[in-house]
Structures are given as C-alpha cells and as structure tokens.
Amino acid sequence: MANRQYEIMERLPTVMEHNALWKSVGWGEVDPEMTERSIAGSMHGVVAVCGEEVIGMGRTVGDGFMYFYIQDVAVLPEHQHNGVGQLIVERLLTDIEKRRLSGGIAFVGLFAASGKEVFYERFGFKDHSPDMTGMFTVLK
C-alpha cells in the first residue's frame, strides 16, 4: 500500500466519518449527537483521503492562543504505517504555529493510545513526569 496517494484536506470530519474511523481503531461506539457537538467545538481539523475515501482524521481543540489539544488522530488500520498519521499531525501542528501569538508560548497536549507514544515523540511530545503529570477524569 506504500504506493497509494494520500491527500490531506483542511476540514473537519463529518459525524459519519468520525464515528467510522473511531470504531475502526478500536475506540468503541460513540453517540452521534455527542460527536456532532464535539466536532462543532473544534478549532481546526483535517482528513486524509485516498481516492474518494476518508481514511484518516485529526483535529485540535483549545483556546486558540496558548492552549491546544490534539484530538482524534486516527487512520484506518489498513492504511497505517504509510505516513498518513505523520501527515495529519504535521498539518495540525502547522495550524497551531499559525494560531499562537507571535513570540508566545503554546502548550500542546494529547493522549496517545497505548503503544503509540513513540509515534508522538518524533514531534517533540514527551512524558514530563514527575514534574508534570497528565490527568483526566471521565464523567458518566
């Protein structure tokens, strides 16, 4: 599959695209209404396309100046390991660079799926513990 042509488009995924990609990478089912509202609150998004099919996505949320969070980077399993994820993350980081205040600091966070930490380390992401610890809670 390395000879396939991929295009990164500057747009958010549709609810259907988001949920299909979410499910394909093993993140389970997600409520379509929740997905729609979450996507609407996004700052920026990209989709990766191969032919006519959306095969990857990524988006950013945050305040648009100082705090950014990369969310939902997912690539269909049959297209993984072909550089698509790298293209998605690079495009998201480029947009963050344009948005942050000139000369200002930008804090960019994300959660990596288990085993994907090394992928994000190539972009400068790292575990900052014990000085800082990433934490979250899930409200149900």
105-140: per-residue pLDDT in tens?
A: 999 999 888 888 899 999 999 988 888 887 788 788
Closest CA to 56 of 97, 32, 89: 89
Q: Indicate if the pLDDT at residue 43 is higher than 90.
A: yes
> Is 32 within a domain?
yes
Q: How many whole angstroms separate alpha carbon 93 and alpha carbon 8?
A: 13
Q: Which two tokens stand for residue 59?
A: 């988006």
Per the domain annotation, does 126 fall within a domain?
Answer: no
Q: Domain tally for the chain? A: 1
With respect to residue 140, please indicate whether it lies within any of the assigned structural domains: no
Q: Write out the residue range of the structural domain in which residue 30 sits.
A: 7-121
Q: Is residue 139 part of a domain?
A: no
Asked whether residue 62 is assigned to any structural domain, the reply reads yes
Domain assignment of residue 47, yes or no:
yes
For 78-88, the pLDDT digits (tens) are 999 999 999 99
**Token pair in block for residue 55:** 């095969």
Q: What is the domain-level CATH number for residue 54?
A: 3.40.630.30
98 occurs within a structural domain: yes
